Amino acid sequence: MLKTMPELSRSQHNAKAPPDDAAAVSALRSAVMRLSRRLKHQRVDESLSPTEMAVLGTLAQCGSATPGELARKEHVQPPSMTRIVALLEAKGLVRLEPHPEDRRQKVVSPTERAEAMLEESRRKRNAWLAELVGELTEDEWDVLRAAAPVLEKLAHL
């Protein structure tokens, strides 16, 4: 049975998990990390690192960006992002174009090949996850479906 969350005041809304919830926090962390690792193995192109795939995913989701913007979004140092972008460009997955307002910078965009690969990767991962979900009870699937927006929120806090 799906439980609904009670109305919370603004101060309660931003409260930290109580210490007695440490086991639940640990279980959530462990489950999310394990599922994430398993999803990462469902790749179309094994030659790309998880970081390279993440950069392509960020470009697909957020649009073209400078290497500096990508570094901030991916939480890596700018020199590391410069190397990642160079590898992706050499593989024909991104193109670099002059920045429209600052000619000293470049804008990174995914190529059609990258977009097709990402779409195939999403399809493969969705199919794999749908197969796992098929093993859940109706009540478990209802709980998981309701939790998806909350997990998405956590991912972006």
Map out the domains of the chain with their CATH numbers: 46-156 (1.10.10.10)
User: How wide is the angle at C-alpha 117 spanned by C-alphas 73 and 133, nearest 5°?
Assistant: 85
pLDDT digits (tens, 9 = 90+) for 87-117: 999 999 999 999 888 888 899 999 999 999 9
Q: What is the pLDDT of residue 40?
A: 82
% helix / strand / coil in the chain, to the nearest 5?
A: 65, 5, 30
pLDDT band at 16 (very low <50, low <70, confident <90, very high): low
Q: What is the pLDDT of residue 3?
A: 39
What pTM did the predictor assign? 0.71
